[in-house]
Structure 1
Amino acid sequence: MAPVAVPSSQPGKDAIANIKSMVTSSFSSSENRRVAPNLTTLPEMLTWAAKTHGHKSLTFVTSPTTAEVNDVAWLESSVKAMAFAFTMAFGSSTIGASSHGKKPIVIVYLSSHKDNMLAVWSTLCAGFVPCLLPNLTAQLDHRKAHIEHLNSLLTSDGVKPIWLTHQIGSGQLNEAGATGLNIKLFDDVKKAAEAQECPKDFKFAPAESDSEAILFLTSGSTGFSKAVVHTHRTILNACVSKAEAYKLTPKSTIMNWVAFDHVAGSLEMHFTPLMHGCNQIHVDAATILSDPMVFLHLIDDHRVSMTFAPNFLISKIAKDLSAQASQLKGTFDLSSLKRINSGGEAVVTSTVKAFCEALNAVRAPGLDDITIEMSAGFGMTETCAGSIYDCIPCSLSNPGKNLPSSEFLPLGRGNRGLEMRVVSPEDGCTPLADGESGELQLRGPMLFVKYYNNPTATEQSFVEGGWFRSGDLGIIENGELRLSGRIKDTIIVHGVSYGIPELETYLQGKEAEGLIADSYLVVAPFRAANQDTESFVVFYAPSFDFYSENATKEADLQVAALLQKAHAYIKNVCIKMVTLAPHQIIPIPMEQLSKEKSTLGKLSRAKLVKQYTAGVFTQHITRVDGLLQLSRNEIFVKAAPGSVAEKICTIFEGIFDLDMGSVSAEDNFFEMGGTSIDVIRLKREVEMTMQLPDEIPILRILLHPTPNLLSTLVEQILNPSPSDANVYDPIVPLQTTGDKTPIFFVHPGVGEVLIFVNLAKYFHGERPFYAFRARGFDKGQPVFTSMEEMVTCYADAMQKVRPHGPYALAGYSYGGVVAYEVAKVIESRGEEVKFVGLINIPPHIADRMHEITYTGGMLNLSYFLGLVTKQDAHELAEPFSKLPKEEQLQKVWDMAPPQRLHELQMSIPKLDHWVGIARSLIECGKSYVPNGSVEVLDVFYAIPLKGTKDDWLNKQLKPWQGFCRRDVEGREDGATFTDVPGQHYTLMDFDHVPFFQKIFRERLEARGI
């Protein structure tokens, strides 16, 4: 097919009509059909889809609210891509070519599905090869090294790549300090395209079927990323085989929430449905992951027929639905849903059953039984994503009928054209018989052709006959695949791949000296029965002897102290690196572990795991448990029989499911793992057990976290005296261990600090974590009446705890502007503030404060506390505004889940009082006008309460740059803006805080603290 000419017209309504006429005439009448012709290149697919399915919609959902849905006809999108292509290749904002005519690789580093699609299609049509870049790490050293690696890798014949990005991406690239980058701003090219006229004789750059089309980066799990080369042919072949497997038709509606830089998000969920005329819905990943209920609402609202859900999301939805079954009964019409693909990690059979049962409990009444094909799959970047699938029809009313008895769903057979075989791992080429475990190898027309500029890696990845070495161990039986292990060095946690070598390197860092013998540590993937996601075991040889035939008690205590320090260090590094603590930490004597090393000095992960499950290391685990118990016995404080402290110890044991008598009177509730929900349970059970005449304020529990301290508090409540009167102290110490600079966190607009309990745990042993709590919660306490009063109070309290800097300060939501003002005061007193973290709050808040009525404040607080859903809060705003306050409170009370009210020990007067505190903070913010500056600022942004994430960042948060002195001076280490998972109200919850803490800690380290 001849290249397509773009008419001479500016993009707009006239251009759409002209291009529609042009693409219609570019095909013969025999090709004017609903099934794609024999396409040979991706630009051909673009124009064919514009002609045949131009009326089909591309829907972009950038926020959980239905107001943030943007529909674009495919024809309109095609027009923009064509105009953009001309501008890139020949226009005033051309991204250029080398002097000898070679076009550079274009590294596409954009955030939204919409922008990524436009950039990829236009670069293809302009004759460039796009390379999609995932989010860069917040860790500056690693980011710099990775950027420099890519800049070098993607340089060919002396032509360096183009980095096509937004202003925020440019800032991230420059902040890392990498040099020699050719950065082009996407918005500049876009504006030029909107004003540029395309000549009538402009044609798309010619392309060949086997020429490079798109580069995808591997995860970099075993080092820096490799660039996987897919040609037009491999992508088109994959689209054909996928559509056949998925039974796609022009009536299908596909919903995707996987990022566009991932091969599944682009090739599987955009190119494939585009070829077959399906409607497409693309959702920001954070929107789904921050609130899985949005996943079901979108399926219902948009009549989705196929989507994707990995095991961890299936598990999360099942649990959330079960917890809210009575409130959500009859909510969702899921009759359109035909298929759910799953991948990225093993799919647990029992989880699928629970998921289907939970869906059945909330599906709309009056509908016939629904059957959904649950399809566990296997695929890689090198195979154009999913290429091997099983397909199990699951009746929602009887999901167990067709599910297998195995722990995991099988992976089934390859898509048409894909071959698979299992061979001996020893030689990599001898085929094994049915049912034998060996190295999985693949071959087919959707397979990548090479790694860009890396002939060594390409050669090592293929064996004779064109078989690709997947890096996984598998078993093929009766033509169906199941995985049995992994050869490559990765851990997959909640669908995210982490590199084991990188984790092992960090674990054997400088802080490990004197604890871990050099080169005697290995991390091995491990999955216990019925776990929602993969975990891992750490095997290591201590650099000290933890066995001794004639050891004294004192010597054993010294060894126990070293083991405690080593295990705490290992746990903290793992949480920081992969957001998860090890399933087990196993010390092995060096003389024994050295026997497990190969002639090359390597330790076999698979062999160590096999020995662990066989009980080979039970002796060492028992020995360590004994030493740690000995150490614990030395500091164990037994509560007096019948005392209040003993009763509280029993409550601790019940909450943490521990043996009776195992809790010391000096054990810290939070160091034992207590969460924000656990605190509420502790409060309730102590009040009930001790039959207290009045409730215990949450703050008092936070300040009395051991049985002995809490018993003292109970005695004060039972036998009050004037000396027990509360004195307001805004600082709540949530975690006091560690030698690094403490972090001080300012409360959000609800004034409470419970939200930080889950976050504080991640800093145990690293740095103290203090939180500011608003005034007014305790009886007789006045609320703050001005921002100045609050800021001065907090600054004084912070310096009372830590008289001199450096300081690290952060604020969540409303607390961000308070943190900024506190930092200004501290700097004015001559002290250094090395970190100021502002979480999802713009500098100008006064207008927003004036908009919040009593109704709005109550609904926001009620949503924050889990009394109503986000959708309820949105829908109730207008009708509630017409009701008196008493009826509003009663309505929320009636709607709230009884269990949640019980957990919070909530009452209508208490809710009203809490709303009053929140209102006082709003009043303090109504006259707030930001001014001045601080030395540094780190802004973290999540999905906003309303509007798109990009608008929130660029229009609301970016003005913080004017309040950072380093940024005003043009320094690269000025204000930074970092994307974090979750919505405004959920980024600190149990599901998102593991990822937030990782990003947050990286920024602290980047600032040198």
Structure 2
Amino acid sequence: MDEQCSNTPSTLLGLLERAVSNWPNHGITFCQSTGKDDGTLLTYSQLLSQAQARARTLLTRQLVIPGEPALLYFEDNYASVVWYWATIIAGAIPALLPPMKAKSVTQTNLLDHVSTLLDRPPFLTSNSLDHIFSDHRDAFKITAIEHISEDDASTKSLPSLLDPGRGHEHKAATYLFTSGSTGPSKAVEFTHHQLIASSRTKAETNRMNSDKVFLSWISFDHSVSICELHLHAMYAGANQVMIPASEMVGNPAGFWNAVSYHKVAYTFSPNSFLATANAAYENDLEEQTMDQLDFSNLQVLFCGGEANKVKTLEKADAILTRHRAPNHSITPVYGLSETCSAIFYNRGAPQYDVSNDYIFASVGTMLPGNSLRLVDNDLTRVPGGEVGAIQLQGPLMFRKYYNNEAATSSCMTEDGWFDTGDTGRLDAKGNLCIVGRTKEVLIINGQNYSSFDLEYAVERAVPELTGGYTATFAVWLEDAETEDLVILFNPQDQYTDDKSALRDLVEKVATAATEFCGKRPATVVPLPKACLPKSSIGKLSRSALKRSLLAGEFDRYKVKEAAPDFASTGESSLSPELLKAIRQVLRGTNVTVNASTTLSSLGIDSLGHLRLKAAIEREYPSHESRLSLARLVACRSLADVDAYLSELLNPSDHKYNAVVELAPRGSKPTLILGPPASGEVLIWLPLVPHFPDRRILALRARGFEEGETPFESMDETVNEYFAAIKKSEPSGPYCLLGRCFGGNIAFELGKRLQAQGDEVIFCGGINGAANLSRLLKAYPSKFPILELLKYLGVIEGEEGRQMCDELGHLSNDDFEVAILERLQPALSKAGMSLQKVRRWMKIAASSYRIGYDYTPQGRIPAFDVFFMRAPEILACDDKEFYDEWMGEWNDCVVQGEGKRVPLREDRPTPSGALRFHYLPVRPENADAPSFSSTFGATLSEALRRREEERVFGQSKKRSRRATIGDTMPSKRLVTVRS
């Protein structure tokens, strides 16, 4: 057996150089699947060479600052690893962002917070991901790695790079972000000394050396991936295999294949995934495949991130030992990011825990050189067997959170111990058993969520609840494989006897919780206030409520789910492929489904969507297109999924529908969103979470699909949208809003709906002038194309202007060809085919032609103008933009000559028929203003005031109609020149 090298490095660069010196041909194999995938090998020598070249480029171009944080975000392991090391060698401190979901309020808040926390840091990402951060271009100094060439001649003249960590071993080497479960996300600071000590101690105690293979399938930003696997393996000189998390989660049976095929010695699984993998072994693996499994090389399959159920570990151990794994290879652990991942290991599982009749496995003993104490509220050590707060000390403990002294102080005792926020006890053998959490944190599928945040999200989404009387906590039900979520609430009107109403309310609460944390609650119970007593300081006791629930005291209040309605649609209406995929995901669960069955009712959470995506793609192996996860997540029922598949498989079988439903229901009037010149609805998606109790419809331009032609006039546009609105939402009241070009559409639709006798409560536009023709003519003719490319993240503002100057003399068609040829690789990485881009360009050009010929006529009783700072291209100051451009709306509103509001962020809420709402950002730096939480709050307040006043109310319909009749053309809404 190969011995570990005795020389111990003192810095991370020294660790990599040691691996190159002793094991130059060992390295990391990047695989794209869980099957027999030999992947692409990047040796440690190649990693060092590539990272050094990129580090020189980063320094030459001053893209990072030595000694300062540099933010990294990539979705593939190869880029994450190489640029992590390049940043370290350049002397900067890599800060790795966690995986980003679709644009949401949560993501926006995280990015805003990180920008402030790290003080607008450099940010390395890739072109294909740049669109995720399009609303935050001012918050970071973003560089796409495709724009960096390490072969630049200027970098070759630089001298050899020195080790930036040498002499600074106790200074920061890496930042990883906490989950944000107990407040804003914190940046855990890891020093060179801490990470080296962790790697050395773990390699020695786990008996790892260069003969071994490590398997990682957790995103690279996680402490498990960096501390427990990547750096640990490098210290041992071991080979590493990296597989994308989406591939593993989508095919749990592949976990066993990967461990066997790659002869893995060390890997990881949270309890919830291990339970799924156990079931997949029994249900999905063919006997021939089972016979080929060989786990004889496995030494440690460590399980952490959540409590480990002994029954789950037993099943996994039986699978492992059946295929020649050594005893006790399955290892429950305990640790946090702040402790370099695992710091306690149970080396006797599962037999030790079975013999002690434990339901949840102990986490064993601590790594040598570190200390544990269990204390009471007075910091007095508790006797053996009693429960106390878990506090730790030693070389593996973090020293501080970056730029957050308050958070650091709150978890450090005066005598230097780290308070984990968890409670535990030591059993008779001195093994630590985790008992609970002192902080209000929910762990769902291995992810941390604040119970306070979840309760707030549910109460905001479901206004029928009594505020302050919602309690959430996690329980481990007897037959469950992971902790399940429980929500208790009090109905606002105390209607606990109306079972039908309660059933609807329970479903609303469950849906809101699912949207917040990606997992459907196992139990949702409406309770009278008497069952939700508060303390003298107004707090609900979750622990007392949990005991009452488990004791059965709330059973009589539980509401049974309604039986599915099979009268109209049944299984036969769904495609066989979808049904087969659903059954794979549900893994034999005895449940009947039909077209109206919702995904959330089947328990399909964030992990379930990945599994469903993978299962459907397996049913269509020959089809070129892969499913869009975002589109799949948007499907609420099996009928939605089936329709999406039909659309994907039969692109020609398509009928234009101008309305896209973004939110299905709510008690407040429907909000209808008019498109910008690009015609797309994507810009509105992050607005949806701000309005949980409102149906939201977005209007989508014609021309995106094959066989469709763009609109040719404003009349045609308004007629089509009006008909689509009446079909989808036959009667009001209506709320209308549009961005730029869409604001004029909202204005025209507002007049049309009012003329038909419908109630329009709200009508408004974002950063668009009433005289659209005048505004558009101030922009160059190539502007639609440049705006499109910027929206896609293919170019940045200055790059677009340079291309416009260089190619502006060309005709529009030639300009389009030149742009597409030059940017084809970037467009491909952004997931845009040339055909789709051309269609988008035609729609934008059509919008501009319509706008050039448009002159607003008539008046509307009220209008809200949301405007930003003056666009640079207009060469005017903010006051001039406000007075001369936005002020034109005065001519379009009855009694429009109202008092203007000052250009200030702290302006009073505007009043009057015409209202102005100032958004202090330039449009060049806010590709989609509706995506910001600031705009969501501003719009919410504007809607609230209009709804309260009912300016367009039915009670005033007769007089308003007469007023409009005096000011609006009787036959045509607008004058259009063909």
- Calculate the TM-score normalised by the size of structure 1: 0.60
Q: After TM superposition, give the deviation of residue 276 of structure 1 in Å.
A: 1.7
8 Å CA contact 1:62–1:68 kept in 2: the answer is no
**What residue number does 2:45 align with?**
75
Letter in 2 for 1:302: H
Q: Does 1:139 align with 2:42?
A: no
What's the CA shift string for 1:297-347, capped at 9, x where partnerless? Answer: 222332211111221222122211212353534121222222211111122
Q: Determine which of 261, 272, 278 is the counterpart of 2:221.
A: 261
8 Å CA contact 1:736–1:769 kept in 2: the answer is no
8 Å CA contact 1:221–1:498 kept in 2: the answer is yes
8 Å CA contact 1:795–1:822 kept in 2: the answer is no
Q: After TM superposition, give the deviation of residue 190 of structure 1 in Å.
A: 4.5
Give distance in 2, aligned partners of 1:391 and 1:484: 19
**What residue number does 1:503 align with?**
454
Q: Determine which of 534, 549, 555 is the counterpart of 1:596.
A: 534
**Identity over the aligned pairs, expressed in percent?**
20
Q: Does 1:613 align with 2:550?
A: yes
Q: After TM superposition, give the deviation of residue 188 of structure 1 in Å.
A: 2.9
Letter in 1 for 2:196: L
8 Å CA contact 2:426–2:432 kept in 1: the answer is yes
Figure out how many residues of one structure are paired with residues of the other and give that number: 693
What's the CA shift string for 1:91-124, capped at 9, x where partnerless? Answer: 2x22154xxxx74310111222222222222222
Residues 953 and 382 (structure 1), Cα distance of their counterparts in 2 relative to 1, 3 Å cut: farther
Letter in 1 for 2:515: K
**What residue number does 1:434 align with?**
384
Q: Determine which of 372, 375, 386 is the counterpart of 1:420.
A: 372
**What residue number does 1:196 align with?**
155
8 Å CA contact 1:254–1:281 kept in 2: the answer is yes
8 Å CA contact 2:442–2:474 kept in 1: the answer is yes
Describe how 1:364-375 pairs up with structure 2 within 5 A. 370-371=326-327, 373-375=329-331
**What residue number does 2:10 align with?**
40
**What residue number does 1:407 align with?**
359
8 Å CA contact 2:710–2:843 kept in 1: the answer is no
Give distance in 1, aligned partners of 2:344 and 2:353: 23
8 Å CA contact 1:809–1:823 kept in 2: the answer is no
Give distance in 2, aligned partners of 1:332 and 1:326: 10
Letter in 2 for 1:596: K
Q: After TM superposition, give the deviation of residue 186 of structure 1 in Å.
A: 2.3
8 Å CA contact 1:148–1:178 kept in 2: the answer is no
**What residue number does 1:332 align with?**
293
| RMSD (Å), alpha carbons | 4.9
Q: Does 1:470 align with 2:420?
A: yes
SS in 2 for 1:492: strand
- Name stretches of at least 5 consecutive residues in structure 1 with no aligned partner: 1-31, 548-555, 633-661, 682-700, 706-731, 739-744, 777-783, 811-817, 835-931, 940-949, 977-1004
Letter in 1 for 2:140: L
8 Å CA contact 1:349–1:404 kept in 2: the answer is no
**What residue number does 1:568 align with?**
507
Describe how 1:150-169 pairs up with structure 2 within 5 A. 150-155=114-119, 160-169=120-129
Q: After TM superposition, give the deviation of residue 455 of structure 1 in Å.
A: 0.7
Residues 962 and 260 (structure 1), Cα distance of their counterparts in 2 relative to 1, 3 Å cut: farther
Residues 171 and 773 (structure 1), Cα distance of their counterparts in 2 relative to 1, 3 Å cut: closer
Q: Does 1:584 align with 2:531?
A: no
Q: Determine which of 300, 319, 326 is the counterpart of 2:260.
A: 300
Describe how 1:82-161 pairs up with structure 2 within 5 A. 82-89=52-59, 91=60, 93-97=61-65, 103-155=67-119, 160-161=120-121
Give distance in 2, aligned partners of 1:375 and 1:294: 20
Give distance in 1, aligned partners of 2:510 and 2:405: 38
- Name stretches of at least 5 consecutive residues in structure 2 with no aligned partner: 585-591, 602-612, 662-670, 675-679, 683-701, 726-784, 793-824, 846-922, 930-939, 944-978
8 Å CA contact 1:376–1:411 kept in 2: the answer is yes
Residues 797 and 33 (structure 1), Cα distance of their counterparts in 2 relative to 1, 3 Å cut: closer
Letter in 2 for 1:605: R
Letter in 1 for 2:492: S
**What residue number does 1:543 align with?**
492
Q: After TM superposition, give the deviation of residue 542 of structure 1 in Å.
A: 2.0
Describe how 1:199-278 pairs up with structure 2 within 5 A. 199-200=158-159, 202-205=161-164, 207=166, 208-278=168-238
Give distance in 1, aligned partners of 2:659 and 2:138: 43
Q: Does 1:354 align with 2:315?
A: yes
Q: Does 1:528 align with 2:477?
A: yes
Residues 377 and 52 (structure 1), Cα distance of their counterparts in 2 relative to 1, 3 Å cut: same
8 Å CA contact 2:475–2:484 kept in 1: the answer is yes
8 Å CA contact 1:263–1:385 kept in 2: the answer is yes
SS in 1 for 2:419: strand
Letter in 1 for 2:340: C
- Stretch moving more, 373-382 or 112-121: 112-121
8 Å CA contact 1:504–1:523 kept in 2: the answer is yes
**What residue number does 2:797 align with?**
none
Letter in 2 for 1:613: L
Letter in 2 for 1:185: A
8 Å CA contact 1:423–1:430 kept in 2: the answer is yes
8 Å CA contact 1:392–1:402 kept in 2: the answer is no
SS in 2 for 1:441: strand
Residues 329 and 735 (structure 1), Cα distance of their counterparts in 2 relative to 1, 3 Å cut: closer
- Stretch moving more, 161-170 or 368-377: 368-377
Residues 736 and 383 (structure 1), Cα distance of their counterparts in 2 relative to 1, 3 Å cut: closer
Give distance in 1, aligned partners of 2:631 and 2:138: 37
8 Å CA contact 2:304–2:334 kept in 1: the answer is yes
Q: After TM superposition, give the deviation of residue 150 of structure 1 in Å.
A: 0.8
What's the CA shift string for 1:960-993, capped at 9, x where partnerless? Answer: 55543499899889899xxxxxxxxxxxxxxxxx
What's the CA shift string for 1:581-618, capped at 9, x where partnerless? Answer: 2222223322442x33352x222222211222233x33
SS in 1 for 2:494: coil
Q: Determine which of 279, 289, 306 is the counterpart of 1:319.
A: 279
Letter in 2 for 1:115: A
Give distance in 1, aligned partners of 2:791 and 2:568: 35
SS in 1 for 2:33: coil
What's the CA shift string for 1:403-445, capped at 9, x where partnerless? Answer: 7532222100011122112111x34x12111111221111111
8 Å CA contact 1:353–1:400 kept in 2: the answer is no
What's the CA shift string for 1:222-273, capped at 9, x where partnerless? Answer: 2321011111111111112211221111211111111111111012111111
What's the CA shift string for 1:20-47, capped at 9, x where partnerless? Answer: xxxxxxxxxxxx9952424322222222
Q: Determine which of 30, 53, 59 is the counterpart of 2:29.
A: 59
Residues 750 and 378 (structure 1), Cα distance of their counterparts in 2 relative to 1, 3 Å cut: closer
Give distance in 2, aligned partners of 1:408 and 1:736: 30
8 Å CA contact 1:966–1:974 kept in 2: the answer is no
Q: Determine which of 227, 234, 240 is the counterpart of 1:280.
A: 240
Give distance in 1, aligned partners of 2:328 and 2:826: 37
Residues 518 and 663 (structure 1), Cα distance of their counterparts in 2 relative to 1, 3 Å cut: closer
- Stretch moving more, 294-303 or 304-313: 294-303
Q: Determine which of 669, 676, 682 is the counterpart of 2:579.
A: 676
Q: After TM superposition, give the deviation of residue 172 of structure 1 in Å.
A: 1.2
**What residue number does 2:886 align with?**
none
8 Å CA contact 1:84–1:193 kept in 2: the answer is no
Residues 587 and 663 (structure 1), Cα distance of their counterparts in 2 relative to 1, 3 Å cut: closer
- Calculate the TM-score normalised by the size of structure 2: 0.62
SS in 2 for 1:520: coil
Q: After TM superposition, give the deviation of residue 295 of structure 1 in Å.
A: 2.3
Describe how 1:838-857 pairs up with structure 2 within 5 A. none
What's the CA shift string for 1:658-713, capped at 9, x where partnerless? Answer: xxxx888869878xx999359999xxxxxxxxxxxxxxxxxxx99xx6xxxxxxxx
What's the CA shift string for 1:131-170, capped at 9, x where partnerless? Answer: 1111223233332222121111112xxxx41111111333
Give distance in 2, aligned partners of 1:787 and 1:767: 19
Letter in 2 for 1:283: I
